[in-house]
Amino acid sequence: MEEKHLLLLFISLSLLAGAAMAKSTIEPCTGTDACPALLGYTLYADLKVAEVAALFETDPVALLAANAIDIAVPDAENHILPAGLFLRVPASCSCSGGIRRSISTRYTVRPADTLGSIAGSVYAGLASPDQIREANDIPDPADLDAGSTLVIPLPCTCFNSTDNFLPAIYLSYVVQQGDSLPAIAARYATTVTDIMTVNAMGSPSIRPGDILAVPLPACASMFPNSASDYGMIVANGTYAITASHCVQCSCGPGNLNLYCTPASLAVSCSSMQCSNSNLMLGNFTSQQTSAGCSVTSCNYGGFVNGSIVTRLTTSLQPQCPGKHQFPPVIPPPTAVLHDSFLSPSPSPAQAGGTVTNPRSSVPGTFGLPGISPASGPAGSTSEASIVNPFCCILCLFASSLVYFNFLY
C-alpha cells in the first residue's frame, strides 16, 4: 500500500514538473547599452490602446505606429481593442544581471491578483511567476500586498540588431497551442534554420508557452550617439514616431531604407528644412543626366538636444525615383484579424499607404480598472514555470484520483 502511495506521489510530481516548464531564449550581455525590441502580446481582455500602453509603460502612439494602426482616427488612444488581439509592443531591451531583458515595466497589484494570474493572464506568458518573484524578492508568493508595485521582467534580445548581417529587430513570441516552427517561420518571412540558430535549438520541437526570439527584417538608422533616438530600428511594414512626436519614420515596402517625414498635425517642432535648400524633411529633387539620375534629398539625422537634425545629400542613381510608397495602415481593430500581423501569428505588411500624426500621452504605472484576470546570432535557452498553478493543481488532482481508483 505504501509503495502505491509513493508511486502516485512520484507520478504527480513528474506531471507537475513537465507541465510547468517552458523554454525562453537568453542573450548574455555586458555594459549598459540597450536596443529597440518588440514584445508579442495577446490581449487577455478588451482594453483601451492607452491601457495596453500603460501596461508596458510605452507610448500609446508608439504602440499604434509599431502595428501600423492609423493614429489619425479621432481619439485613437481611447479606442477599445478586442481580447485575443495580437500586438507588437515596443520595448527597450537592456542589459540587466548579465542578460538581455526589459526591466522598465511596473505593475500595481490588485486584491484578486496572484503571481500566476499576473504572469499568465495579464502579461500573457511573457513572464513567469518565478521570474516576477525573483525580480521583486518576494519571500511568500501567496502573500501579495494589494497596491504594491512589482517589477515585471520581460524577455527580449538584441543580437546587435542584425540577422545574417542584415538589419533586424527581434520579436519575443510566446508559442501558442497549434503553432509549429515551420508555420512561425513562414508567417514571419524567415526560415526554420534561422529561428533555430537564433534560439540555440537542437530540434524544431516547440511547446505552448515557449518564448522564441524571432528576427524581423527592419530598416536601421544612422543617427549619431548624441541623438536621443540613436539606434532606432523599424520593422518592415511598420512605423516609428520620434523627435517628440514631430517625425514619423517608416520601413518598406519594397526596400529596407528608413524613410522619415514630418508627422502630420505635429505642433511645437523645430525646423525641418534642410540648410541651404528649400527642401523639407522627406522631400527630394531629381534630374536625369547622361550618367544617371542625380537625386538631392533632405534626410532625418536624429533628435539632438531637442532639435531635429536634417541632412542634405546628393547621390547618383541608375534611375529617378518615383513617389514614395508607404506601408499600409489600418483603423484600430474591432475584431481579431487572423490574416494580418495583428493576429496571434502575424505576417509583415506588403503594400502602400500613409500614417499620420500622433498625439502626446504619458505612460505610467499600470493597474487595470475594474478587470480581474483569473551566422546569425545565437542565444541560450532557459526554463521557467509559466502556467497557472491553480489549473495545474486541478489537473493533477483529477489525474491522481483516476490513478488512485485504478490502484484500488
Buried b (16+ CB within 10 A) or exposed e, 364-403: eebbbeeeebeebbebebbebbbbbbeebeeebeeeeeee
Residues 210/22, Cβ–Cβ less than 8 Å: yes
Report the range of poorest mean pLDDT among 114-118, 324-328, 333-337, 391-395: 391-395
Residue 25 burial by Cβ neighbours in a 10 Å radius (0-12, 13-18, 19+)? buried
Residues 378/28, Cβ–Cβ less than 8 Å: no
Decide if pLDDT at 111 tops 60. Answer: yes
Q: What is the pLDDT of residue 24?
A: 87
| Mean pLDDT score of the chain | 83
Decide if pLDDT at 347 tops 70. Answer: no
222 Cα distance to chain centroid: 22
Q: What residues pair up with 25 in beta bridges, in sequence order?
A: 381
Buried b (16+ CB within 10 A) or exposed e, 225-260: eebebebbbbbbbbbbbbbbbbbbbbbbbeebebbb
DSSP 20-88: HEEEEEE-B--SS--EEEEEEEE-SS-EEHHHHHHHTT--HHHHHHHTTB-TTSTTGGGPEEPTT-EEE
pLDDT over 90 for what percent of the chain? 69
Decide if pLDDT at 239 tops 90. Answer: yes
Q: Cα separation of 158 and 92, whole Å?
A: 10
Q: What is the pLDDT of residue 383?
A: 61
Q: What is the pLDDT of residue 11?
A: 36
Q: What is the pLDDT of residue 337?
A: 64
Tally Cβ neighbours within 10 Å of residue 323: 6
Q: Cα separation of 119 and 269, whole Å?
A: 40
Q: Crossing angle for the helix pair 389-407 and 2-20, nearest 10 degrees?
A: 150
Q: What's the pLDDT band for 312 if we cut at 50, 70, 90?
A: very high
Decide if pLDDT at 62 tops 50. Answer: yes
Decide if pLDDT at 291 tops 50. Answer: yes
Residue 12: phi and psi, rounded to 5, are -65, -45
Buried b (16+ CB within 10 A) or exposed e, 74-107: eebbebebeeebbbbbbbebbbbeebbbbbebbb
Q: What's the pLDDT band for 349 if we cut at 50, 70, 90?
A: very low
CA atoms within 13 A on the CB side of 333: 22
Residue 133: phi and psi, rounded to 5, are -60, -45
Q: Cα separation of 79 and 307, whole Å?
A: 32
Average pLDDT rounded to a whole number, residues 199-222: 96
Identify the CA nearest to 363 among candidates 37, 56, 90, 88.
56
Q: What is the pLDDT of residue 407?
A: 41
Q: What's the pLDDT band for 150 if we cut at 50, 70, 90?
A: very high
